[in-house]
Amino acid sequence: MIDVNELRKGVTFEMDGSLYKVVDYSHNKTGRGNANIRIKARNLQTGANIERTFNSGLSVQDVRLDFHNVSYLYNDGDFYHFMDNVTFEQPAIKADVLGDSALYLKEGMEVKITFYNNAPLDVEFPSSVDLKVVEAETAIRGDTATGVTKKVKTETGLEVYCPQFVKVGDTIRVNTETGDYVTRV
């Protein structure tokens, strides 16, 4: 059991028979009463988001998770297949678990998979990925009075807003947490 005061962003716990990962956390202390801990969490099995408020002093069930570094192999439509870098096992994760994050995956890319009871639950991406631009709007000459951006499409299908100078064939670095353009590589 862990105290609810220890729930921080990224912590996984069990409640009502389901696994949750904390997405957002706030600690509120008012006057004389107990502190309130408000969390937003994502159900790791269904992907549903919940908001919950706990009184200070309560506990939730902690879970033991295993982490494995894996390489992305391929997508067959329903599942994304990976290969463990140590044991060479090939776990598969449902497409709906990854959601829009799947647009950051490139063949051969290394990620970290979270396992619970030998079942894959979640994928942790690196902080940024380098993707090649395959489609880009044409830049309009002289349109530089403000920080003008344009939408480009990458090799994985991800659409990102970039500065005007980015063109087809360039490789850009994208932040996986925000989905924003970082730099041209």
Q: How many domains does the chain have?
A: 3
Coil, strand, or helix at residue 154?
strand
Statement to judge: residues 14 and 51 lie in one domain: yes
Distance CA 58, CA 172 (A): 46
In which band, very low, low, confident or very high, does the pLDDT at 71 lie, cut at 50, 70 and 90?
A: very high
Tokens 């480009």, residue located? 152
29-33, 35-39, 84-88, 90-94: least confidently modelled range: 29-33
In which band, very low, low, confident or very high, does the pLDDT at 144 lie, cut at 50, 70 and 90?
A: low
Statement to judge: residues 132 and 166 lie in one domain: yes
Statement to judge: residues 31 and 70 lie in one domain: no
Statement to judge: residues 103 and 136 lie in one domain: no
What does DSSP say about strands 2-3 and 79-84: parallel, antiparallel, or unpaired? unpaired
Statement to judge: residues 7 and 57 lie in one domain: yes
In CATH, what number is assigned to the domain containing residue 137?
A: 2.40.50.140
Average pLDDT rounded to a whole number, residues 74-84 = 91
Statement to judge: residues 91 and 104 lie in one domain: yes
pLDDT of 142 above 80:
no
Average pLDDT rounded to a whole number, residues 134-160 = 82
- Write down which residue in 62, 89, 107 finishes a domain: 62
Give the Å distances, CA to CA, from 98 to 20, 39, 105, 143, 147.
Answer: 15, 22, 10, 38, 32
pTM, two decimals, is 0.73
The domain of 40 spans 2-62
pLDDT of 130 above 90:
yes
Statement to judge: residues 84 and 57 lie in one domain: no
Statement to judge: residues 87 and 53 lie in one domain: no
* Per-residue pLDDT, 81: 94
Of residues 97 and 161, more confidently modeled: 161
- Write down which residue in 124, 150, 166 finishes a domain: 124
Which contiguous run of DSSP H or E holds residue 98? helix 95-98
Distance CA 124, CA 126 (A): 7
Tokens 């290969």, residue located? 83
- Write down which residue in 80, 106, 124 finishes a domain: 124
